[in-house]
Amino acid sequence: MRIGDPKIVAKLAELNVELQHAAALADLTSLGIGGTTDLLRIRQHEILPDLLNLLDANDVQYKFIGGGSNLLVGDGELPWVVLQLVRPEPDVVLDGNFARVDAAADLGRMITFCAKNDLGGMEGLIGVPGTVGGALRMNAGAYGMQIGSYVREVKLYRAASRKLETLRGDQISFEYRHTSFAPDDMMLSVILELPSKPFKLILEGIRICNEKRRSSQPLGQKSAGCIFKNPPGASAGRMIDELGLKGLSVGDARVSDRHANFFVNAGQASAKDMLRLIADVRERVHKNYGIELENEVVVWNA
Is residue 237 part of the contact set for ligand EPU (CB under 6 A)? Answer: yes
State the Rg of the chain over Cα.
20
**Out of 15, 41, 106, 143, the residue judged to bind ligand EPU by CB under 6 A:** 143
Regarding 221 and contact with ligand EPU (CB under 6 A), the answer is: no
Is residue 165 near ligand EPU by the rule CB under 6 A? no
Least CB distance to ligand EPU at residue 16 (A): 34
User: Are the C-beta atoms of 32 and 68 separated by less than 8 Å?
Assistant: no
Which residues within the stretch 38-97 sit at the binding site for ligand EPU (CB under 6 A)? none
The closest of 150, 149, 167 to 158, measured between CA atoms, is: 167
Nearer to ligand EPU, 91 or 296 (CB): 296
Number of residues that bind ligand EPU (CB under 6 A): 15
Question: By CB under 6 A, is residue 261 in contact with ligand EPU?
Answer: yes
The 3-class SS string of 8-47 reads HHHHHHHCCEEEEEEEEHHHHCCCCCCCEEEEEEECCHHH
As measured in angstroms, the least distance from the Cβ of 253 to ligand EPU is 17
Is-cis flag, bond preceding 183, omega within 30?
A: no
Residue in 91, 102, 185, 296 binding ligand EPU, rule: CB under 6 A: 296
Which of 162, 207, 214, 238 touches ligand EPU by CB under 6 A?
Answer: 238
Please list every residue from 172 through 211 that binds ligand EPU, using CB under 6 A. none
Q: Which of 146, 221, 230, 265 binds ligand EPU (CB under 6 A)?
A: 230
Strand partners, 293: none
296 is catalytic: yes
Q: What residues have CB less than 8 Å from 269, skipping those under 6 apart?
A: 31, 32, 33, 251, 252, 253, 254
Q: Does 223 bind ligand EPU (CB under 6 A)?
A: no
From CA 228, how far away is CA 215, in angstroms rounded? 20
Pick 221 or 230: Cβ nearer ligand EPU: 230
- Catalytic, 242? Answer no
Is residue 290 left, alpha or beta, with left meaning phi > 0 and alpha meaning psi from -120 to 50?
A: left
136 binds ligand EPU (CB under 6 A): no
Comparing C-alpha atoms, which of 188, 68, 219 is closest to residue 130? Answer: 68
Q: Three-state SS across 182-214?
A: CCCCEEEEEEEECCECCHHHHHHHHHHHHHHHH
Q: Rule CB under 6 A: is residue 226 a binding residue for ligand EPU?
A: yes
Among 54, 65, 253, 260, binds ligand EPU (CB under 6 A): 260
In contact, 5 and 48? CB cutoff 8 Å: no
Secondary structure letter of residue 138 according to DSSP: T
Residue nearest to ligand EPU according to CB distances in the complex: 225
Q: Which is nearer to ligand EPU, 17 or 226 (CB)?
A: 226
d(CA 162, CA 249): 43
Known catalytic membership, residue 114: no
- Name which position in 235, 243, 245, 302 contacts ligand EPU (CB under 6 A): 235
Active site positions, annotated: 177, 226, 296
Q: Which residues lie near ligand EPU (CB under 6 A)? A: 142-143, 216, 225-226, 229-230, 235, 237-238, 241, 259-261, 296
